[in-house]
């Protein structure tokens, strides 16, 4: 799915969405995704040596926005590689009985914490047993709330990448998507045991013995790249000349320090994808 599809659907069905009752977390997501990289988010302006001006609209940086998630996902992968041991890991799935789904819908924040805690304590108790060598595990847990058809199915899983085609009416598609917007301020990925921040000494001891995944080279598709803002008319490099914020949104993409100079003196921004009309983007590498 192209990363602007969700934005286009939200915009096309804005009238329908405005008539449906939505929790605050959904209203924030809808507004952010609709306005991401549009004029309403404000713009940054770049000028080349020929005085051509290039305008780039700001991103919303909402964690549910497909336009903003690309770079964040790569950053997350890179962060995990810096702490994961270079050894085999076991994949374990926890879920809740479907009879509890109505309860989940009205108590999502509380049950999220309960599911994380109960899953962690189960593994801790099991691994502490002499039958399993009485060890402290390192755990990285990610909560998924969707099934293969975007239905509600809270569980911890990274199982496979199989895809199936499903045809839905737009209203039903929107309902299924919006039920998976995470609660405001809740972490959907958490680390426990040897991967927890409070266990740094034990983590360092283990990493000295088995090494870390950060020493392995990532595939090209998972490598973070900076993007150089290039003039869309003459294809020369540009310099930032000003910014305008039409809305005071928290976490706008172009924040202080987000633009810097590379070794060739070109203006570099930390962009997540070359999806900007009217400008050329090329890797600074």
Look at residue 185 in the predicted model and tell me its pLDDT: 87
Q: What percent of the chain has pLDDT over 90?
A: 31
Q: What is the dihedral of CA 74, 78, 83, 86, to 10 degrees?
A: 100
Expressed in angstroms, the distance from the first to the final Cα of the chain is: 28
Nearest to 137 by CA among 82, 194, 85: 194
Of 30-34, 56-60, 207-211, which range is least confident?
Answer: 56-60
Residue keyed to tokens 């189960």 = 122
Residue keyed to tokens 């309403």 = 40
Mean pLDDT for 237-266 is 58
3-state secondary structure of 77: helix
Do residues 136 and 192 lie in contact, with contact meaning Cβ atoms separated by under 8 Å? no
Look at residue 41 in the predicted model and tell me its pLDDT: 85
What does the alpha-carbon distance between residue 192 and residue 127 come to, in Å, rounded to a whole number?
Answer: 13
If you count DSSP H runs as helices and E runs as strands, how many of each does the chain have, helices first?
8, 11
3-state secondary structure of 63: coil
What does the alpha-carbon distance between residue 138 and residue 90 come to, in Å, rounded to a whole number?
Answer: 10
Look at residue 179 in the predicted model and tell me its pLDDT: 87
Give the residue with greater pLDDT, 267 vs 175: 175
Beta bridge partners of 269: 227, 259
pTM surpassing 0.85?
no
Q: Quick one: pLDDT band at residue 221, thresholds 50, 70, 90?
A: low
Residue keyed to tokens 């790249």 = 225
pLDDT digits (tens, 9 = 90+) for 31-51: 999 999 888 888 888 999 999
CA-based R_g, the chain, Å: 22
CA distances for 278 relative to 4, 231, 235, 236, angstroms? 17, 8, 11, 14
Q: Quick one: pLDDT band at residue 147, thresholds 50, 70, 90?
A: low
Do residues 22 and 30 lie in contact, with contact meaning Cβ atoms separated by under 8 Å? yes
Residue keyed to tokens 């997501």 = 29
Alpha helix locations (H) across 129-256? Answer: 170-178, 200-210
Is the four-CA dihedral 118, 120, 121, 122 of positive or negative sign?
positive
φ, ψ at 175 (rounded to 5°): -60, -45
Mean pLDDT for 203-232 is 75
Locate 8 and state its tokens: 């286009």
Sheet with 259-261, strands from edge to edge, namely: 259-261, 267-269, 227-230, 280-283
What does the alpha-carbon distance between residue 89 and residue 106 come to, in Å, rounded to a whole number?
Answer: 34
pLDDT digits (tens, 9 = 90+) for 79-132: 888 889 999 999 998 888 888 888 888 888 999 999 999 999 999 999 999 888
Burial class (CB in 10 A: 0-12, 13-18, 19+), 178: buried
Mean pLDDT for 222-239 is 75
Q: What percent of the chain has pLDDT over 70?
A: 74
Q: Is the pLDDT of residue 165 over 90?
A: no
């Amino acid at each position: 799915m192209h990363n602007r599809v969700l934005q286009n659907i939200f915009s096309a069905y804005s009238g329908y969405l405005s008539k449906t009752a939505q929790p605050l977390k959904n209203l924030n997501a809808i507004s952010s995704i609709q306005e991401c990289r549009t004029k309403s988010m404000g713009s940054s302006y770049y000028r080349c040596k020929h005085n051509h001006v290039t305008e780039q609209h700001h991103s919303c940086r909402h964690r549910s926005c497909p336009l903003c998630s690309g770079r964040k996902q790569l950053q997350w992968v890179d962060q995990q590689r810096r702490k994961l041991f270079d050894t085999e890991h076991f994949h374990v799935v926890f879920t809740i009985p479907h009879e509890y789904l109505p309860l989940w819908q009205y108590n999502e924040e509380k049950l999220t914490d309960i599911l994380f805690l109960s899953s962690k304590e189960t593994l801790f108790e099991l691994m502490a047993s002499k039958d399993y060598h009485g060890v402290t595990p390192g755990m990285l847990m990610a909560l998924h709330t969707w099934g293969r058809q975007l239905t509600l199915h809270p569980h911890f899983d990274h199982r496979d990448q199989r895809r199936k085609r499903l045809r839905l009416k737009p209203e039903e598609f929107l309902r299924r998507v919006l039920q998976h917007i995470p609660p405001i301020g809740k972490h959907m990925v958490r680390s426990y045991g040897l991967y927890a921040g409070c266990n740094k000494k034990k983590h360092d001891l283990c990493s000295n013995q088995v090494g870390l995944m950060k020493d392995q080279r990532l595939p090209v598709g998972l490598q973070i790249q900076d993007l150089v803002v290039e003039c869309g008319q003459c294809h020369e490099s540009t310099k930032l000349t000003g910014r305008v914020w039409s809305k005071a949104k928290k976490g706008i993409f172009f924040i202080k320090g987000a633009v810097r100079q590379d070794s060739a003196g070109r203006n570099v921004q930390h962009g997540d994808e070359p999806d900007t009309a009217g400008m050329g983007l090329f890797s600074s590498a």
